[in-house]
Amino acid sequence: MRQTKILMAKRTIHRKAQIHRKAQGFRWEGVDELPYKEDDRALFKAITRQVLFSDPDMHAELRYFEMQPGGFSTLERHEHMHAVLILRGRGHCLVGSEVKPIETRDLVTVPPLTWHQFRATEGEPLGFLCMVNATRDKPQTPSAEDLAKLYADAKIAAFLRSEPDSK
């Protein structure tokens, strides 16, 4: 019993009630705006990242990504899933073999090992919440062969060239 109490005290030590007030634009007080990825070998454009919730005991992280008009995330796949809520703007996303228009309040589930990419429309920024496992595998980027397969689909090829959105 005593041991349980000590354990619980240890587990709660780092936890504090916190309110991060909304700030200008899609920012939150006390939350840093970070580069999209530390690994800049992956191709992406005009995108930032804010980690909103991250706690070792929650096993999940909630991040906010925002891309400027015409910006895009990395084309990638991985074992972990994404649960995405579009918070501002619109654009298109590729998930597997589907290219879909997305806009504010749409929800997107990215299943394991599924190619995915988000692209903002030319006219406005695209911002979304993305929930992931706290511990997760490293994203894979497509090989030349994977890319050839993707480009073989006319709709995906147009998406990758930003064509569905450049009109």
Spatial CB neighbours of 103, under 8 Å, sequence gap ≥ 6: 86, 89, 90
Which three-class secondary structure state does DSSP give residue 13? coil
| 93: annotated active-site residue | no
In this structure, are residues 77 and 95 in contact, taking their beta carbons and an 8 Å threshold?
no
Run of H or E residues at 5: helix 2-12
Q: CA–CA separation, 123 vs 121, rounded Å? A: 6
Max Cα separation, the chain? 67
Q: CA–CA separation, 77 vs 152, rounded Å? A: 18
Catalytic residue among 110, 130, 150, 160: 130
- Report, as residue numbers or ranges, the catalytic residues: 130
